[in-house]
Amino acid sequence: MNVQAYKNIIVPMLLETFEEREAEHIFKIVLEDYFNRRYFDVRNAVLQDEEMEALNFIFEKISNHYPVQYIFNKAYFYDLELYVDEQVLIPRPETEELVHWILSENIKEHLKLIDIGTGSGCIPILLKVKRNNWQISALDISENALKIADQNAKKYEVDIEFLQRDILNVQSGFFQQKFDIIVSNPPYIPKKEKELMSISTLQHEPDLALFVEDDNALIFYNKIADFALNFLNENGKVYLELNEFNANDVKKLFHQKGFSSVEIKEDMSGKQRMLRAQLTSTAL
């Protein structure tokens, strides 16, 4: 059976779970990942029985909401190809936009940066690839996540200091240095918002990196702000990914802590998903 005939069988099956455009996209990326070739180069290929059997198994898992990124242990972030599994979040386009904001505003050759809650390491690895002279650290509470981040860093031969720490319990004297930039995509989804999320995320991505208690939804933002008061250099900046539903609450929190130039930025979908705050001498 050729690929086009196979597509005519699989895409209708995927339509039971996904919208048409997404189903078409999933079919193409699965074929590309399975054959490690562009879809353009395999679209006229003839599939062998064993290949169809393997692909059938993959598409069945996807139809049951298993993320394709975890099937192939592969996710893309900018122009990076990163290893991912169920120990880390799948990198999102919104996080790419956050990193782009950092790169566009910070062009100095030598800066010190720390990423809080690094997961797969997508943020610090990309920043180090783009700004090789920056001194970059990254922390996460999960030992398994840090192993994946380190594996991804080694792939791109970038030197990043990975630390296993819980940001909620980092004390004021923990670091002997200060940073010019703090960046984080922290857990920010109240448990009451689970009903708004995809089944695949709920069933397979790590709760630890996603959810906070309903009655303390800003816990990580509050701790990161306090961390910045202790460990950010004068005129240093904090960049955060946000929950669109409480973005202005985070902005208010940083104002109350004494930060200046607190700005919310919309993503490409027009949602309030990013924040930048600066620490001036008056707040120190």
Q: Domain containing 145 — which CATH number? A: 3.40.50.150
Q: Which residues contact 284 (CB under 8 A, 6 or more apart)?
A: 229, 234
- The angle, 0 to 180 degrees and rounded to 10, between the axes of the packed helices 20-35 and 3-14 is 130
Tell me: do 50 and 173 sit in the same domain. no
Tell whether the model's pLDDT for residue 283 goes beyond 70.
no
Tell whether the model's pLDDT for residue 284 goes beyond 60.
no
Q: Where are the beta strands (DSSP E) in 52-151?
A: 75-77, 80-82, 112-116, 135-140
* Domain boundaries, position 187: 85-283
pLDDT tens for each residue of 228-244: 999 999 999 999 999 99
Tell me: do 259 and 125 sit in the same domain. yes
Tell whether the model's pLDDT for residue 215 goes beyond 60.
yes
Task: State phi, psi for 109 to the nearest 5 degrees.
Answer: -75, -35
Tell me: do 98 and 147 sit in the same domain. yes
First and final C-alpha spacing in the chain: 68
Residue 281 pLDDT class (50, 70, 90 cuts): low
Select from 171, 148, 278, 149 the least CA-distant residue to 223: 171
Tell whether the model's pLDDT for residue 225 goes beyond 70.
yes
pLDDT tens for each residue of 25-66: 999 999 999 999 999 899 899 999 999 999 999 999 999 999
pLDDT tens for each residue of 80-104: 999 999 999 999 999 999 999 999 9
* Domain membership flag for residue 210: yes
* Domain membership flag for residue 80: no
Task: State phi, psi for 13 to the nearest 5 degrees.
Answer: -65, -40
CA–CA separation, 1 vs 44, rounded Å? 10
* Domain membership flag for residue 79: no
pLDDT tens for each residue of 156-188: 999 999 999 999 998 767 788 899 999 999 999
